[in-house]
Amino acid sequence: MKNAKAREIGDSQSIDRMARYVLDIIPESAGPRRATARGSVIHSVRGPGSQKFLAREHSAGIVLRPGRKFRASLGSDRIIEYDAPVGCLIVNPAGVDSTFAWSETRENAVVSISPEALSELAAYEFDAVEVELEPPAFGTVDLRALTIAQMITAELTAKVPPNELYLDSLLTVFGVHLLRTYTSSHRHPVPPRGGLSPVGARRVREYLNENFVRKVMVAELASLAGVSPNHFIARFARTFGMPPHRYLINLRLDLAEKLLAGGDLATAEVAYLTGFSDQSHLAATMKKYRGRTPTRAGHASSRN
């Protein structure tokens, strides 16, 4: 178990290095953020200010609080002033410089996807790895992007630590939305017809049973199953009756209840061994999904 925890720490450090640039551009005081296998997500609230930005990853900002008289440029010296309603989307492709200035407090979600990750998604969606993002005009509202951004924000700002697999799933869906909406490709992806293949389902089940206490990303599960990361989420749910992050939580809670029933370990140690960040995280998750506390779970299991 300790080796698994060490691998989790190593995975987290490598992910952080990959997405570090975007995470550093937006001050840590602006709000919570997480790095995933594909990039990073941030919920940002910032007072009046400005910034210059040369994107190393594909980045998108989704407005969560309306604002007026934003001033921005993208890939040129031309400054455009515009109003930004809720749902306004700004797409900054990798390698394109931009400037941005705002005169009032603004709230937005920021999604960053590495070029490698977007190319991987494009290979699944369009059978092509070279795609060029075509940013929408300043002030464009994208309700689909807003929905995903609100789900990301809700996860980042919840009372319990965010679920890494769930955020990676949302980032994957967001990346596919960018490809389908803001690239010149007109090929229509083939939707998933059913669940995972028997072989794919077995591989994923065995992998999760062996690795559920560490961070697990959609991309690695999809690779095991041999399907698109975007299609994987729907196919997994059809096969197992729930999304991947919920399946992972169930595995962790099942083990936690067994360890608590033994009565030999403190709740904090059980939380550590089952992949939760701390005792409070375990308690909140167990209360949410099982309707009881670790103490009650241990007593109930002992009686059984």
In this structure, the number of other CB atoms found within 10 A of the CB of residue 199 comes to 11
Residue 177, CA distances (Å) to 82, 121, 149, 172, 291 in order: 24, 10, 12, 9, 35
DSSP H/E element including 67: strand 67-74
Beta bridge partners of 102: 49
Instruction: Give DSSP secondary structure letters for 164-190.
Output: HHHHHHHHHHHHHHHHHHSBS--PPPP
Radius of gyration of the chain (CA): 21
Listed residue (248, 247, 267) closest to 257, CA to CA? 267
Confidence (pTM):
0.66
Residue with more model confidence, 188 or 74: 74
Which region holds residue 156: left if phi is over 0, alpha if psi is between -120 and 50, else beta? Answer: alpha
Helix-strand-coil split of the chain, %, nearest 5: 50, 20, 30
Tell me which CATH code domain 246-303 carries.
Answer: 1.10.10.60
Rounded CA-CA distance 217/201 in Å is 16
Residue 181's pLDDT is 93
**Which position has the token pair 């890494």?**
164
Write down the domain spans for the chain.
14-181, 198-241, 246-303
- Give the pLDDT confidence of 244-297 residue by residue, as tens digits: 888 999 999 999 999 988 888 899 999 899 998 889 888 888 888 888 888 765
Tokens of 245: 């992050």
What is the fold of 14-181? Answer: Jelly Rolls (2.60.120)
The per-residue pLDDT for 21 is 55
Q: What is the DSSP letter of 212?
A: T
Lowest mean pLDDT among 19-28, 176-185, 215-224: 19-28
Q: What is the mean pLDDT of the chain?
A: 83
More confident residue, 301 or 170: 170
Q: What's the pLDDT at 255?
A: 93
d(C-alpha 243, C-alpha 287), whole Å: 19
**Confidence class for position 159, pLDDT limits 50, 70, 90:** confident
Q: What pLDDT is attached to residue 66?
A: 94
SS3 category, 228: coil
